[in-house]
Amino acid sequence: QVQLQESGPGLVKPSETLSLTCTVSGGFISSFYWNWIRQPPGKALEWIGFISYSGSTNYNPSLKSRVTISVDTSKNQFSLKLSSVTAADTAVYFCARGTPTTMITDYWGQGTLVTVSS
């Protein structure tokens, strides 16, 4: 059974960079797409972007200038960096596996709350 687990600081100061890592277990990171999705408190889901096992990326244009997603296949991990954060970036951040071509996100991490505050 594939499992995903997010990790990283739960509190980030305004203007700093949010950094999260997702560790994939129960399967290899190859042959799939790896997504970051977030959900502000009480609000709907927002897709941030994905990276393929080969390293190609696709970001939401609304966040593209601030987002970097990378993959470390040797550790079965992928990571998110979001720069210049503000309070509007406070959210639960989920990592999720996406199937090639159809982009169905079938396995999700439990999510981690990141609060942006001084």
Partner 1 sequence: DIQMTQSPSSLSASVGDRVTITCRASQSISRYLNWYQQKPGKAPKLLIYAASSSQSGVPSRFSGSGSGTDFTLTISSLQPEDFATYYCQESYSTPLTFGPGTKVDIK
Q: Which residues inside 57-76 make contact with partner 1, applying CB under 8 A? A: 58, 60-62
- When asked if residue 44 is in the footprint of partner 1 (CB under 8 A), the reply is yes
- When asked if residue 94 is in the footprint of partner 1 (CB under 8 A), the reply is yes
CA-nearest of 91, 86, 117 to 36 is 91
- When asked if residue 87 is in the footprint of partner 1 (CB under 8 A), the reply is no
User: What is the DSSP track for 41-64?
Assistant: TTS--EEEEEEETTS-EEE-TTTG
| Sole window of 11-19, 21-29, 76-84, 102-110 interacting with partner 1 (rule: CB under 8 A) | 102-110
| Sole window of 11-19, 20-28, 74-82, 97-105 interacting with partner 1 (rule: CB under 8 A) | 97-105
- When asked if residue 36 is in the footprint of partner 1 (CB under 8 A), the reply is no
CA-nearest of 20, 25, 28 to 113 is 20
- For residues 16-50, b (16+ Cβ closer than 10 Å) or e, as one string? eebbbbbbbeeeebeebbbbbbbeeeeeeeebbbb
- When asked if residue 105 is in the footprint of partner 1 (CB under 8 A), the reply is yes
Q: List residues near partner 1 by CB under 8 A.
A: 35, 44-47, 58, 60-62, 94, 96, 102-106, 108-111
